[in-house]
Amino acid sequence: LFQSGAQRQGLLIAQGLLRNERGEVLLCELVYKSAWDLPGGVVDPGESPATCVHREVTEELGLDLPVGSLAAVNWLPPYRGWDDALLLLFDLGTVDASLMERAVLQPREIRAVHWVAPDDLADHVAPYTVEMIRQVTTPGPTRYLENSQDR
């Protein structure tokens, strides 16, 4: 992935944006890092990004959600020891907030899940995630972003 020569490998990440009827965004409180994040993860070799989102949501939250359209393609520069990455953000739709009462969290990955108002996202997630979500809140075609900014 992202190979130019035999030495360079980038990261492909697929995440899902799930909202409730109040416009809040579902965030996962992860066991292995302090910042919360959208559901999803690193795409496995040979796996499609949409399949990755479905797999991660099923494994980590115990929910079978349809993966909708691609909301954004976001190139991310190196961040906190990671190489640059390509993040594909898929729309998981809008659900009733009570859906999370049925979630079965994978304890080695997810400590808790939270519905968070858009104005409060910066208190919980990395800055690039706040900006990426802000970029995709207006209806329209798939957005191409670089570091969560329009190019």
Q: Tens-of-pLDDT digits for all 151 residues of the chain? A: 444 444 446 799 999 999 999 999 999 999 998 999 999 999 999 999 999 999 999 999 999 999 999 999 999 988 777 788 999 999 999 999 999 999 999 999 999 999 999 999 999 999 999 999 999 987 788 999 999 998 8
- pLDDT for 9: 64
- pLDDT for 139: 77
Name every residue whose Cβ is closer than 8 Å to that of residue 42 and which is 6 or more positions away in sequence: 11, 12, 13, 52
Alpha helix locations (H) across the chain?
49-61, 127-136
Name every residue whose Cβ is closer than 8 Å to that of residue 15 and which is 6 or more positions away in sequence: 37, 38, 39, 40, 41, 53, 87, 88, 89, 90
Q: What's this model's pTM, rounded to 2 decimal places?
A: 0.89
- Torsion angle in degrees (nearest 10) through CA of 112, 13, 127, 61: -10
Bridge partners of residue 94, in order along the sequence: 19
Under DSSP, is residue 1 helix (H, G, I), strand (E, B) or coil?
coil
Q: Residue 31: left if φ>0, alpha if ψ -120 to 50, beta else—which one?
A: alpha
| Calpha distance 48→45 (Å, rounded) | 9
